[in-house]
Structure 1
Amino acid sequence: MKNLIAFLLFAISFLFISAPSKACDLCGCGAGSYYLGVMPQFQKNFVGLRYRSASFDSHLGGTGNYSSLFETQERFYTAEVWARFYPTPKLQLLAFLPYQWNFQDENNKTKSLSGMADASVIAQYEILNTTNDTISQTFEHNFFVGGGVKLPTGKSNFDEEDVLQVANPNFQLGTGSTDFLLTSQYTIRYKKLGLTADFSYKINTENSTDYRFGNRVSSNATLFYVKQIGRFGFMPTVGTYYENSQKDKRKEKTVFDTGGNLFNAVLGTQIYTGRFMFGVSYHTPLSQNLANQKIKANDRLMIQTAFLF
């Protein structure tokens, strides 16, 4: 058991050693976001719905020089269909189709956008799996690697000369670009205790308005415990989430108040009964430096359901 605890602590530490948030402009973060998180039961197909909420406060002064000038709050609410399908035993396909509601509050006025956001498709191949071995294993684990694409299905018509719209490319429903994802997932389990971790690197391309969001690294590390009570299976989780992005570029010139990093603590649980799963997770920032400290990320909430088959 001591070896297991040491391994889990090492895995969590290793996950964050070399990680290079969302690309953040002065007024917040939103366009082109996606999130993997804790997946339902391994080796099962599923389709379901997720709800995510996030908000950001911004101002023109840094943390040590607060200014109420152009102080704003941006709120992002996302409902998405998500699914996993195994066309072969070692290949899993993940799909995310989001619909988004964006609100920006400034000077007692609220601007809003709503509509389809950017869809993502990811394929991952299993290169390690000991869960089906006939010899008893001290550790059961599996490892997936793969990649995918984020499609420009969300509307993006940002024009910095248009003073009537939200002056922020991140506030758009999509990035307006086709972007590429490199991903990996690792899960290890000893009896009822386990660790799951995922890592992704998002490579952004330039859109039709010559704007390119900074490339982004994101990762999760989550400890979980499985408990069966009657017909219900409970899986409480505790972990961390990290994201870091490079600065955006407009016409190949760096947009300075963009990019940054965010480190969250995450608490959650999943409940299983029959073919159905319900889950909830709550993020709270432990440290952050977004847009040169001109943006403050607030707590996040995610609720998810799935039908397993």
Structure 2
Amino acid sequence: MKTYILSILTLILGISALQGNTMPKPPCPSSHLSMLMRYDDFCDTCGCGGNGGSMGFGTGLNNNFLGLRYIGQKYRSRDGIFANSPWIDEDFNTVQLWTQLPMGKKFIVNAVLPYQFHTRTFSNQSEQHINGLGDATVLGFYQVLKQTPDSIISIRPEHTLQVGGGVKIPTGTFDEENLEGSVNPSFQLGTGSWDFLLGANYGMTYRNWGISLMANYTFKTENDKRYRFGNQFNYALNAYKTYYFGNDFALTPQLGLGGEHFEENEEFGLTVNDTGGNALFGKGGIEINYRTYALGVSTMLPISQNLNNGKVEVKNRLSVYVNINI
């Protein structure tokens, strides 16, 4: 089953690469920009609970791209259920192959295939490592609104609204043994479950200024080990300004806020103690565009958080991506 699913994802990514050779090149950065949140923001970064669901900023040249992204996240969690239990340092690392391509004039398909490599460091300095394929995600969105100005110097802003959803596929491994000891059940390669997503993405640009607003909700199901991660709500607001240097080069600093809310997990139909919670992040980043290429770096720092009844803490998140627009 996993081989069949991966074959479909490979086909989608292959079509995207092929279109890069057959479609006309997008306009240079001096044309009107369409900076929106990327739809990979709708998927779990580490495959399960409290993680980077609102991590990314996006790519500014064009809505269609093929690229690679690295996401690093640092957490700490209690090594035990007691208030004085020692802390575990946890590093979640993900490399994503991601793409977005059009299906006609109104539909957009987004696919993400992650590879995970995570590490836990215990109080006695011993380490636990897991690595492998994460949960793949395929999303489809319908463009409800795309209002463009009459010209580059128009006093009217440009608006874009897209709504849709998709599925997160259990291509990553869920290991029950990783639930033991630490109160952070998210130390997994995947949820082991088929999860379903609904979301909306709004963007507005005015000359070289822009804002983007994203919201999504993930419905999570029970896996074959009778464990179900709690449903997840993500939201984010970004603001940015693009500086142009000739016709080929542009620089876009970005600032924003991102929030996440997690419902409690369940095991055998019963609520799992010390799960669920919420977090609010400040976000900052910069994207460099050169012709059809985009290089981006962004970071998230917690403003407030209450994860797993205070027994899990997120320290920071970092993302670096390289895209080619097609």
- TM-score range (shorter-chain normalised) is 0.7 to 0.9
1:120 equivalent in alignment to 2:137: yes
SS of corresponding position for 1:292 = helix
Structure-2 residue corresponding to 1:141: 159
Aligned counterparts of 2:61 and 2:203: Cα–Cα separation in 1: 9
Q: Deviations over 1:139-183 (max 9, x none)?
A: 2110000001000000113147978xx785421200000000001
Aligned counterparts of 1:41 and 1:306: Cα–Cα separation in 2: 10
SS of corresponding position for 2:135 = coil
Q: Cα–Cα, structure 1 residues 61 and 175, in superposed 2: closer, same or farther, change >3 Å?
A: closer
How do 1:115-194 and structure 2 match up within 5 A?
Answer: 115-131=132-148, 136=154, 138-159=156-177, 169-194=185-210
SS of corresponding position for 1:85 = strand
SS of corresponding position for 2:57 = coil
Aligned counterparts of 1:50 and 1:95: Cα–Cα separation in 2: 13
Deviation at residue 38 of structure 1 after TM alignment: 2.3
SS of corresponding position for 2:161 = strand
Aligned counterparts of 1:207 and 1:296: Cα–Cα separation in 2: 26
Q: Deviations over 1:17-76 (max 9, x none)?
A: xxxxx99xxxxx9433555632223654210000000011122799xx962x24211110
Q: Cα–Cα, structure 1 residues 306 and 86, in superposed 2: closer, same or farther, change >3 Å?
A: same
1:297 equivalent in alignment to 2:314: yes
8 Å contact from structure 2 (residues 136, 169) kept in 1: yes
SS of corresponding position for 2:234 = strand
Unaligned runs of 5+ in 1: 1-21, 24-28
AA partner of residue 257 (structure 1): D
Q: Cα–Cα, structure 1 residues 234 and 153, in superposed 2: closer, same or farther, change >3 Å?
A: same
How do 1:277-292 and structure 2 match up within 5 A?
Answer: 277-292=294-309
Structure-2 residue corresponding to 1:98: 114
Aligned counterparts of 1:206 and 1:108: Cα–Cα separation in 2: 34
SS of corresponding position for 2:58 = coil
Counting matched residue pairs gives 278
Give the structure-2-normalised TM-score: 0.79
| Alignment RMSD | 2.5
8 Å contact from structure 2 (residues 95, 114) kept in 1: yes
Q: Cα–Cα, structure 1 residues 123 and 137, in superposed 2: closer, same or farther, change >3 Å?
A: farther
Structure-1 residue corresponding to 2:235: 219
